[in-house]
Amino acid sequence: MRTQPVNQISEKGLKVWRLYGIMQTAVILLLAIGVGVLTYIFEWPKWIYAIAAGVVILVGYLIIYLFPKVRWLRWRYEVRESEIELQHGLFIVKRTLIPMVRVQHVDTAQGPILRKYDLAEITISTAATNHTIPALITEEADELRRRISVLARVAEDDV
Amino acid sequence: MSDKRFKLHWITAVIEVLKTLKEMILPLIVLFFANGLKDMGTGKWYIDYASFIIFGVLLIAFLVTGIIKWKRFEYWFEEDELRIEYGLFVKKKRYIPFDRIQSLDHTEGILHRPLKLVKVKVETAGSSSAKQSEAELTAITKEAAKEIESEMAAAKMRKKAVPVEDGMPILEVPVVEDAKVRSVFTMSAKDLFILATTSGGIGVILSGAAIFLSQFSEMIPYEWMYEEISSFVKYGLLIVAIAVFMGFVVVWGLSVAMMFFSYYGFSVVLDEQDIVITRGLLEKKRMTVPLNRVQSVRVIENPLRQMFGYAAVVIHSAGGGGAEGAKINLFPLVKKADIDGPLSEIFPDLNLDEPRQKLPARGRRFYYRMDFFWMIPVVGALGYFFFPYGLLSLLIIPLVIVFGLWQHRSASYALSGHQLTIRYRGFSLQTTYLMKKRIQSMEMRQNYFHKRQRVATLFASVKSGMGIFNAQVYHMEETEAERILSWYEPSVPIKKNASTLVGELEDKGAEA
């Protein structure tokens, strides 16, 4: 059994995901309200109210509470001397191994919500693939970017 | 170094005009028909002939721009770079260092051949768009093309001659002129015929015909056709069926002919560090692939061709180009028994043994389990709506299961030294040979059910042109997937087999 990567992503990342979940649920809530209004106007059967409410509650539970939690618990990364290992995934657990010599460049990006929580996402690119760690403390992300770029400088010339 | 500037051959202007015309042909035809077929006689000649006038003006404009483009285009060699200056209104300059050039692809079109000319496409790794190569010399003489190559070779030699930083003396290697050029693979007429007949070209032609027809649908006199057809149908269904069949035969014949023309004279030549692929009858193409750009080698065995004992070999290159530059047909069709010889001549380091490690029985069910999600509703619906006969769709289930079992049985893998061999079946059996240093990243995937059965899916990504090619082993033994991950992990020294490890420990114990 391989050991899991040691580092977890910031706990604030969980909060951000919950926030995204709340925003998405709000959209669905609006839709459900729309359906409810239509049902009232056109006197459709009553059980439509129940279904609309049920969908909102279920989706809310899943994308505000359960999915972010599972995803956060699952997300791990580790940056070692000669490779980066990631573990993530909701239903399918993906464990990715990226050797340092393959890394072409590292980007960090920060949207308004991430900035508010002092977080950044970091994207590691090889010649063919991209891998994103979604939420790291900005300082940590910068540090990681610097470290990877130093380590990746030993890259061989072949693509 | 000569700073002599070279021009393209004058036929370039003609080719440019034809190229523009080809792009403009549909709008022009529409314009022509929209205006030209109207009732004549508005009295004003410039309205009656508007479409012809527009057409003529455009043609002259194309011709002039073509000539200007040709006149403006210049290339020369300077400071170990290929320098190009071109542009219609804005003068553009492009400098390409010789050691950044991935390949020079030669194409001889119908217009090139009588004049002994060639089109040269310059590919670099960083070609920004998939369709466009870094530079294109539309028509130059073959001598001029040779000159570029020798200029490039000379530049690379100069570069090598410069001692590198760590002070290792570099031996000056004398240039061996054409001594190492070896023909590795050619296709016989029979192979060519089988390739052409078994290819999937029909689909391409059918869709092409459909697009063509849809463009002209407005001009087709449907009413007239309808009458014709209705009287035609009266002759009976049999004749209609025969007509449709004949139509298919013609389309198939066309696709065979197209394949035949484009793969005629297919040959692979090994030229020191490059693979040179030549093919084509009407349009002769020559493609150069540097060996060190090859990312993976894949043997594809289509069941249909497998029956005749044939397979195909495809290589993925990290070159800049689009689809054509990335996935290259190395041997479009080759006797399965004859693959190893030429392949190991091109890639001497490749271990071409059949992968022997099979997948565990525990993973078998995953090969068809997901299919039930679409099968059950489909079978249910068919059975309900077409009651007695719809139930025949139940036959899908055993078919899909057998197909899954077939995939499971076909899959295998092997680790040997720095090479990972993966074999899996979609419909065709694919065997991929991957070198460790060419794998960009590796991923192991497991869902809940996988974990319970202790199986996992393994993905290895390699670069293919601008994109990725994924080679995967589905539903393999979990511990084996982890072993391959550890094999790939740079910081873990390559683990030996448990048995040899124990043996070594015992040896050490004995020494102590």
Specify the pLDDT at position A153.
65
Burial state string for A96-121 with b = 16 or more CB within 10 A and e = fewer than 16: bbbbbbbbeebebeeeeebeebebbb
- Nearest-angstrom CA–CA distance, B407 and B424: 7
* pLDDT > 60? residue B132: no
Among the partner-chain residues B446, B464, B482, the one whose CB lies closest to the CB of A92 is: B446
* pLDDT bucket at B89, cuts 50 / 70 / 90: confident
- Choosing among A70, A74, A85, A93, which should be mutated to test the B contact, i.e. which has the most B CBs within 10 A? A93
Inter-chain residue contact A96 with B443, CB threshold 8 Å: yes
Phi-psi region of B80 (alpha: psi -120 to 50; beta: other; left: phi over 0): left
How far apart are the CA of A87 and the nearest CA of chain B, in angstroms? 9
* pLDDT higher at B171 or B291: B291
Specify the pLDDT at position B233.
66
- Nearest-angstrom CA–CA distance, B24 and B38: 22
* pLDDT > 90? residue B109: no
Helices (H), chain A: 11-42, 47-60, 67-74, 112-116, 138-152
- Choosing among B295, B440, B475, B492, which should be mutated to test the A contact, i.e. which has the most A CBs within 10 A? B440
Specify the pLDDT at position A24.
93
Specify the pLDDT at position A64.
92
What's the whole-number mean pLDDT along residues B197-225?
A: 63
What's the whole-number mean pLDDT along residues A98-124?
A: 87
Query: What share of chain A in percent tops pLDDT 90?
Result: 41
H or E stretch covering B49: none
Size of interface A-B (CB pairs under 8 A): 75
Residue A135 exposed, middle or buried by CB count within 10 Å (0-12, 13-18, 19+): buried
Among B137, B181, B175, residue whose Cα is nearest residue B156: B175
Maximum separation of any 2 CA atoms in chain A, in Å:
71
Inter-chain residue contact B462 with A93, CB threshold 8 Å: no
Beta carbons within 8 Å of B345's beta carbon, 6+ residues apart: B182, B184, B270
Q: Calculate the dihedral angle through the C-alpha atoms of A136, A139, A145, A151, rounding to the nearest 10 degrees.
A: -110
**Over chain B, what is the mean pLDDT?**
78
Interhelix angle B237-263/B189-198, rounded to 10 degrees, is 130
Specify the pLDDT at position B389.
80
Specify the pLDDT at position B501.
43
pLDDT digits (tens, 9 = 90+) for B235-289: 667 777 787 778 878 877 888 888 888 888 888 988 877 888 888 888 888 888 8
Tell whether B42 lies on the interface with A, counting CB pairs under 8 A: no
pLDDT digits (tens, 9 = 90+) for B294-347: 889 999 988 888 888 888 999 988 765 544 557 888 888 888 888 888 888 888
Report whether B312 contacts B331 (CB < 8 A): yes
How does DSSP assign B131-184, residue by residue?
A: SS-SEEEEEEEHHHHHHHHHHHHHHHHHHHHSPPTT-PPPP-PPP--STT-EEE
Tell whether B442 lies on the interface with A, counting CB pairs under 8 A: yes
* pLDDT > 50? residue A96: yes
Specify the pLDDT at position B442.
92
Q: Which two tokens stand for residue A120?
A: 């950044």
Q: Which two tokens stand for residue B481?
A: 């997937």
* pLDDT bucket at B381, cuts 50 / 70 / 90: confident
How far apart are the CA of A37 and the nearest CA of chain B, in angstroms? 33
Among the partner-chain residues A80, A93, A127, the one whose CB lies closest to the CB of B445 is: A93
Specify the pLDDT at position B497.
46
Which 3 state secondary structure label does DSSP give B413? strand
Inter-chain residue contact B486 with A2, CB threshold 8 Å: yes
Inter-chain residue contact A83 with B463, CB threshold 8 Å: no
* pLDDT > 50? residue B68: yes
Residue of chain A minimizing CA distance to B454 = A1
Among B447, B467, B448, B465, residue whose Cα is nearest residue B457: B447
* pLDDT bucket at B26, cuts 50 / 70 / 90: confident
Query: What share of chain B in percent tops pLDDT 90?
Result: 8
Which 3 state secondary structure label does DSSP give B186? strand
**How many H-runs (helices) and E-runs (strands) does chain A carry?**
5, 7
A-chain CB neighbours of B477 within 8 Å are: none
Among B261, B274, B282, residue whose Cα is nearest residue B199: B261
Among B94, B59, B54, residue whose Cα is nearest residue B76: B94
Residue of chain B minimizing CA distance to A91 = B447
* pLDDT > 90? residue A22: yes
* pLDDT higher at B420 or B211: B420
- Choosing among A70, A86, A102, A130, which should be mutated to test the B contact, i.e. which has the most B CBs within 10 A? A102
Specify the pLDDT at position A14.
92
Q: Running DSSP on this structure, what letter comes out for residue B362?
A: G
- Nearest-angstrom CA–CA distance, B355 and B352: 9
A-chain CB neighbours of B448 within 8 Å are: 91
Inter-chain residue contact B440 with A83, CB threshold 8 Å: no
Specify the pLDDT at position B170.
46
Specify the pLDDT at position B422.
92
